[in-house]
Amino acid sequence: MNDPSSYNFSFSYNLDANPPAPREEELIAFDECVEYPLPEQRVLLRSKNSGKQITVTNDVAYSLRLCREFRTLPEHIQHLGREIPELANEPEDIRQVLNSIEQAGLMLSAASKVKSLVSAKPFQPSETNLCYCILTCDRAEALARLLDSMAVNHHFLERNTYHVIDDSRAPESRQRNRSICADFSTSHGMKLHYFGIEEQNHALRQLKAQLSEYAEGIDFLLGRYEDNPAIPSYGRTRNWGLLLSGGRKLILVDDDILFQRVKPADDEKDLEITSLSRVATFFDTDSEWEKLPDGGQTDPTAGVFHQALGATLTETLSLTGKDSLPQTALRNLYPSDYAWINADSKVLLTSCGYAGDPGTASNIWIYHLPAEYRQQLFESEQNYQQHITARNAWMGSFGHTFRNQCTLMSAVTGIDNTRLAPPYFPLFRNEDLLFGVMLHHLHPKGLFLDNPWAVPHLPAEHRQWEKDHALKPQSYGLLDFCSDALMLNAPTLPTDTPARRLSECADFFCHLGRLSDKALEEKIAEQTLGLRTTQVTRLSKVLSESQGAPEFWKRDLQRIIQAGEKSLASPLPRGFQAVPGSEDEQRSLARSQWQLFAQGIQSWEACLQAMKDIQTDAS
């Protein structure tokens, strides 16, 4: 940043000296631009969205980068004055520059976007056949508990199909689960299809016989990983769910929940289209969620949850009872997502939150919560110490929330499987994160809808967060590494049809699998440094916003930031956390699995088609 005497915050590039100003209350943000350096401390800015361009000084370009959040003009002026002390006493200069940028077409308007989103025509969804797939693994008691809650809160319809996909390792667990499904079907007069290892192997043999040229890739996506049974295979059962649903709307249900709606702990908020992650409030006792039943509707998958799948944004707004939106609905939308949000954007995935265990292995997300949700942590140091270890919260969205990027996990997930969806990576954790990134790549204009209710997530085993986990250096697991790598490379991949984009995903993983050892080590190092520096920057911003917070909060934030700064000078990881073996063995395993996943992706459309004629009953 330049000193006050040399800070050049002026224009001399054929712009109106007194351009018309946007209304004071209008929310505006600086557009995403490519920057082209020029002589004499200048830079050419060209919008990635509109193609409009302007030449400004380097100092103006720096200032505009600080305007990438939707604010009113007075809020932008105040923000720039705080961030750039040289401009603190120059509000009229800032106003003139921002008015000029707006005149040049490089400021985005929240008001103009929301006007384009709402249709006056009401939407009447047609009732369609749904496929429910319950995913279970060695938790017979949890499966029985889930089914009992479904019997109370869900209306089983003949037009829907219901499957239990069993990934249990223990033979006695598989036998118990099969009996539970048979007994439930008999006692409730419906057909709950059990899809266990025999049924899976029977279908797998048929798929490989029909698609022999893809046999190895199909085995990776759908077969049991015999090399190391201890490696979790959450994505494998989800792949079977995508195939069993046969191009219908799919509802995936984890086995360790209760199938009932729990309303938000706070008042429901207004609908929002955002780029931010979920929020949370914290429970003081394990049973506190029981005070929050949703009296109006008990089924978490009813109504908007499944009706929105495949609907456009305007149709979904109609489902939620909205005939107009305030511009504030876009206040937390990033310019990078702005262009993808359109009236005809389709909802690809629906979800809801967690009441109880949020399902996250680390508590670091607590420190990234927006300011209004951090306040509960400040009530007392005793409560703070409890909340950062107890894994007991209401985590989700407090109003219907649309996102263009999938950053969430859900114990109940709706997928519009009438459109091409990618396969899940069959092994390791964060399979839902990678699936969301790939789904977004296939359908860049697609939306993810988070609904303002939760389901009780009650694992049988008692879980706690490690108190000082946030002090550990950040490192990648295998699938979050892939997710970030794909997002970094996505702009260079073609953007024509979903099928072509799926093929490019296969090429991407094939390329990862062919990286030399040195190149892979360097890629891990580069992404890890990006991960760590981003966290230090974000938490430093949180600390600067916490001037009125208690000392115990600021002290812990400072400790985490200092640990993050220290990690930048520490030896970087050369492998992946939660992957067995030495770091050399981890990289070798990753490369081989990326190659197999690439083969599986190449087979996926053929699998979806062939599965329509596959007999799934092993008998």
Residue 359: how many CB atoms within 10 A of its CB?
17
Q: Is the pLDDT of residue 119 over 80?
A: no
SS3 89: coil
Question: Is the sign of the CA dihedral 55, 57, 60, 64 positive or negative?
Answer: positive
Nearest-angstrom CA–CA distance, 463 and 286: 12
Nearest-angstrom CA–CA distance, 564 and 583: 22
% of the chain beyond a pLDDT of 70? 95
Q: Is the pLDDT of residue 265 over 80?
A: no
Write out pLDDT tens, residues 450-482: 999 999 999 988 899 998 999 999 999 999 999
Q: Do the beta carbons of residue 557 and residue 543 sit within 8 Å?
A: yes
97 sits in which H/E element: helix 91-103
Structure tokens given for 120: 């006056």
Structure tokens given for 163: 């499957």
DSSP state of 357: -
Structure tokens given for 209: 């016989």
Output the pLDDT for position 10: 55
Output the pLDDT for position 11: 46
Output the pLDDT for position 5: 42
Average pLDDT, the chain: 92
pTM to 2 decimals?
Answer: 0.95
- Within its chain, how far is the Cα of 405 from the centroid? 6
The CA radius of gyration of the chain, in Å to the nearest whole number, is 26
Write out pLDDT tens, residues 57-75: 999 999 999 999 999 999 9
Confidence of residue 12 (pLDDT cuts 50, 70, 90): very low
- Reported for 356-359, long-range contacts at CB under 8 A and 24+ positions apart, including other chains, are 356/283, 356/286, 356/289, 356/392, 356/393, 356/456, 356/457, 356/458, 357/391, 357/392, 357/457, 357/458, 357/459, 357/463, 358/280, 358/391, 358/393, 358/395, 358/457, 359/409, 359/411, 359/457
Q: Is the pLDDT of residue 39 over 80?
A: yes
Name the nearest CA neighbour of 293 among 271, 253, 265: 265
- Mean local confidence (pLDDT), 352-373: 94
Q: Is the pLDDT of residue 237 over 60?
A: yes
- Mean local confidence (pLDDT), 218-244: 91
Write out pLDDT tens, residues 62-115: 999 999 999 999 999 999 999 999 999 999 999 999 999 999 999 999 999 999
- Within its chain, how far is the Cα of 388 from the centroid? 22
Name the nearest CA neighbour of 394 among 353, 365, 366: 353
Nearest-angstrom CA–CA distance, 112 and 341: 12
Q: Do the beta carbons of residue 411 and residue 455 sit within 8 Å?
A: yes
Nearest-angstrom CA–CA distance, 130 and 475: 39
Write out pLDDT tens, residues 499-516: 999 999 999 999 999 999
- State the virtual CA torsion across 366, 368, 371, 377 in degrees, nearest 10: 20
Could you write out the three-class secondary structure of 419-444?
CCCCCCCCCCCCHHHHHHHHHHHHCC
C-alpha distances in angstroms, 477 versus 45, 151, 482?
37, 38, 9
**Beta bridge mates, 194:** 164
- Mean local confidence (pLDDT), 172-198: 97
- Exposure string over 501-511, b if 16+ CB within 10 A, otherwise e: bbbbbbebbbe
Output the pLDDT for position 231: 87
Output the pLDDT for position 228: 75
Q: Is the pLDDT of residue 616 over 50?
A: yes
DSSP state of 125: P
Output the pLDDT for position 491: 65
Nearest-angstrom CA–CA distance, 479 and 583: 16
Q: Is the pLDDT of residue 493 over 90?
A: no
- Comparing 231 with 590, which gets the higher pLDDT? 590
Nearest-angstrom CA–CA distance, 257 and 370: 27
- Mean local confidence (pLDDT), 118-123: 80
**φ, ψ dihedrals at 257, nearest 5°:** -125, 170
Report all structural domains of the chain as residue ranges with CATH numbers, in order of start: 28-112 (3.90.930), 130-254 (no CATH), 272-613 (no CATH)
Q: Do the beta carbons of residue 421 and residue 415 sit within 8 Å?
A: yes
Specify the pairing of strand 272-273 against strand 401-403.
Answer: parallel
Query: What angle do helix axes 478-489 and 517-544 make, rounded to 10 degrees?
Result: 90
Structure tokens given for 507: 């090429």
Of 11-25, 147-161, 262-276, 364-378, which one has max mean pLDDT? 147-161
Query: What angle do helix axes 215-222 and 234-244 make, rounded to 10 degrees?
Result: 110
**Beta bridge mates, 135:** 165, 254
- Mean local confidence (pLDDT), 268-290: 93
Name the nearest CA neighbour of 163 among 141, 188, 139, 196: 196
Q: Is the pLDDT of residue 385 over 50?
A: yes
- Comparing 142 with 494, which gets the higher pLDDT? 142
Tell me which of 58-67, 292-301, 417-426 is least confident: 292-301
Confidence of residue 227 (pLDDT cuts 50, 70, 90): low
Output the pLDDT for position 54: 95
Nearest-angstrom CA–CA distance, 92 and 502: 50
Structure tokens given for 30: 């600086």
Sequence-ordered list of residues with C-beta below 8 angstroms from that of 105, at least 6 positions apart, any chain = 47, 50, 52
Q: Is the pLDDT of residue 3 over 50?
A: no
- Within its chain, how far is the Cα of 92 from the centroid? 40
DSSP state of 40: T
Structure tokens given for 10: 């002026």
544 by Cβ neighbours in 10 Å (0-12 / 13-18 / 19+) ranks as exposed
Structure tokens given for 108: 């985005």
Output the pLDDT for position 14: 43
Q: Do the beta carbons of residue 149 and residue 258 sit within 8 Å?
A: yes
580 by Cβ neighbours in 10 Å (0-12 / 13-18 / 19+) ranks as exposed
